[in-house]
Structure 1
Amino acid sequence: MTSDAALDALLLPLNQGLLTAAPDTLFLRAREGAGLHARGQRDALTCVQPFKPWDDALQRAGFDVASDLPSRTFDQVWLLPPRQREEARALIAQAFDSCEPGGVVVASVANDEGAKAIEGDFKKLAGALDGTLSKFHCRVFWAKRDDARIDADVWAQWRKADAPRSILEGRFVSRPGVFAWNRVDVGSELLAEHLPSNVRGAAADLGAGWGFLSDALLTHNPGITTLDALEADARALELARQNLAAHADRCDIHFHWHDVTAGLPVGRKYDVIVSNPPFHDTGKASQPEIGKRFLQVAAEALAPRGTFWLVANAHLPYEALLAERFVDVRVVVSAKGYKVFEARGVKR
């Protein structure tokens, strides 16, 4: 069981008796960890986590995980705000919306994830802080929901801070906080430029994000009849539904909120798989093992004549593993710090 500095800091005011544990607590962006188990509040917590690997970890540990934000209010709300400023502001507004008047909202942020700025935003909405602590290279801060001191205008504005909006001259819909939310990332753009235009049959996009690569694949391959879009971020997957809706009249599209590293939930064999795999979870530390697992899952799911199209940062150690799993591997292009690979002939 791993230690989580921001989670450990979040629990400090409770562990030190500065706050009293509530019998009915909502935990936004909840994460499973040793500190949470040590609290022994399992029955009092309702957890919400849009990132599937962390949702799965909470469920395996026996915590109550809601698929959507509950419509009722809670005596206490905990949150681990994300780094992205607009998304964090929306989550702070959501936390106070979900807290009973007189209840307490508690937040924790790592110093190198923007703790100072997010603490300032929290205070701006709440009107005042009722306590702060600094520990484990994190800041934890809390405030009562006191509607008399809350800035109502800020509250109203921040509820919509991460709302979906049109991007790229109206071609797509996205929202703050998802990967490359207001642009096409360089790797995906490079892969899209070199995708084939003669694919037919079943396709999959591993780590589909808000749908850019799926859209490019379907636009250039009218012979594709089925597409499975798999994405770990529930917020991004909902955007992909909107962005791929124009293709739904000719292609059977399925959307899966799923952790690809756990294997695929569909028994289908694919004629083409595309992927711009992540090489970290939601933090900043590089984790190339995630991308390697995406590659292995793709090899297991391809049809005998299927093709795997992959883009990755040029420095990542994927080429040797591609050679182990596929008969034919070629570098289609190497540019802008990325490589696009085409792999065929899975070695069974």
Structure 2
Amino acid sequence: MTAGGFFAAAPDAALAALFVPFDVGELRLPADGRALFLRARAGMRLREMAQPGWLCEQGFLPFADELGRNGLRVGEPAADEKFPLVLLLPPRQRDEARALFARALRHLAPGGTVLAAMPNAEGAKSGEADLTKLAGAVQHLSKHKCRAFWSTPQPADVDQDLLAEWLGLDAPRTIVDGYVSRPGLFAWDRIDRASALLAEHLPANLHGRVADLGAGYGYLSTQVIARCPRVDALDLYEAEARALEPARTNLARAKRECGRELATTLYWHDVTRGLAQRYDAIVSNPPFHQGRADLPELGRAFIVSAAEALLPDGRLLIVANRHLPYEAVLASRFHEVRALVVREGFKVIEAVGVRG
């Protein structure tokens, strides 16, 4: 945990494994000191290896902030920018990972090397096989229960048709009920059951300015628009930048379908660091894990931020897995706390009246 939030980017085995090829002499850092690190994560090994010419790309804001606090340059490469070394930590979701491999090759300079690392238990062999399909010959090393694999392809080695196809895998796409999402987002290809339960129990008398914390591709916000006609302003907070474009599309459709005007704003923001606005009501399906590890402190941090942002008579509506221990922090922050429904392993809780 950092002073500002619970999402600090802790060093992990994949990051350590990523630099093993340099440690054992299989690879050398570029002479010009330039590299692109896609899906970069902060950690001791990165601080040891990174040079001033490295550019770290990270769309999850808490991780991006941690990279910046470590003195690393964070941003996005220009569309035509090329690097002699492209590093990446591919995600578990395969379509998202394939799109990332394709982006890595698009930004690779002639004669350059693309290097990835993945935990063995999270698809490392599949990731290596995908890079092989795309770039040709691949080498690998195993360490820390992870696999580092790399390729230094000639232009003729790269399957350009496959590269174009895989670049498109990251594009927002229609999933169910007309919603737009993209691979790798939370519940990206469906309507999350917990969020649907909360939507079913949204009070029609919600009014004024409302916030959706951890909005994802915007499902809950669209339901607020459809079910709560007295809401006249709606702010969405989401830490994953890749979710913002689908959310914007889904909001636009929801406003067209409801046939009324209301102000909507999307914020790329880490909710655990607090909110700048004050609200009449807040809705949330707060995260309670980081990667595969349960971390209920995340949900509690969302509750604290919500309580601090609500007006004195404001209302918080959250949904959570039934076993998560949120009641104590809710009772410490609100005068009234009650469960609206407990069903299918989830609970919808309403908290009203912020304690001074």
Q: Provide the residue aligned with 1:35 in structure 2.
A: 45
CA distance in 2, matches of 1:7, 1:221: 45
CA distance in 2, matches of 1:5, 1:69: 30
- Percent identity of equivalent pairs: 51
Computed over aligned residues only, the root mean square deviation of the Cα atoms, in angstroms, reads: 1.4
| Alignment of 1:177 onto 2:184 | yes
Q: Provide the residue aligned with 1:155 in structure 2.
A: 163
CA deviation after TM superposition for structure 1 residue 145, in Å? 3.0
Q: Provide the residue aligned with 2:140 in structure 1.
A: 132
User: What amino acid is the match of 1:156?
Assistant: A
Q: Is the 8 A contact 1:27 1:78 kept in 2?
A: yes
| Alignment of 1:316 onto 2:324 | yes
SS of aligned partner of 1:64: coil
CA deviation after TM superposition for structure 1 residue 70, in Å? 5.0
SS of aligned partner of 1:321: helix
SS of aligned partner of 1:90: helix
User: What amino acid is the match of 2:306?
Assistant: A
CA distance in 2, matches of 1:15, 1:70: 31
Q: Provide the residue aligned with 2:3 in structure 1.
A: none
How many equivalent pairs are there?
342
Q: Provide the residue aligned with 1:261 in structure 2.
A: 272
CA distance in 2, matches of 1:103, 1:18: 14
CA deviation after TM superposition for structure 1 residue 16, in Å? 2.2
User: Structure 2 length normalisation: TM-score?
Assistant: 0.93
CA distance in 1, matches of 2:196, 2:78: 34
| Alignment of 1:331 onto 2:339 | yes
CA deviation after TM superposition for structure 1 residue 344, in Å? 0.3
Query: Cα deviation per residue 1:205-233 (whole Å; 9 max; x = unaligned)?
Result: 00000000001011112221211100011
Question: After TM superposition, where is structure 1 displaced by more than 4 Å over at least 4 residues in a row?
Answer: 67-70
CA deviation after TM superposition for structure 1 residue 193, in Å? 0.3
Q: Is the 8 A contact 2:215 2:236 kept in 1?
A: yes
| Alignment of 1:195 onto 2:202 | yes
User: What amino acid is the match of 1:86?
Assistant: D
CA deviation after TM superposition for structure 1 residue 60, in Å? 1.2
Q: Provide the residue aligned with 1:95 in structure 2.
A: 104
User: What amino acid is the match of 2:231?
Assistant: I
Q: Is the 8 A contact 1:100 1:145 kept in 2?
A: no
Unaligned ranges ≥5, structure 2: 1-8
Aligned to 2:296, which of 288, 295, 301?
288
Query: Cα deviation per residue 1:292-347 (whole Å; 9 max; x = unaligned)?
Result: 10011111111111100000000111111111111100100001110000000111
| Alignment of 1:55 onto 2:64 | yes
CA distance in 1, matches of 2:337, 2:216: 25
Unaligned ranges ≥5, structure 1: none
User: What amino acid is the match of 2:72?
Assistant: F
User: What amino acid is the match of 1:92?
Assistant: F
Q: Is the 8 A contact 1:2 1:34 kept in 2?
A: no
Q: Is the 8 A contact 2:211 2:237 kept in 1?
A: yes
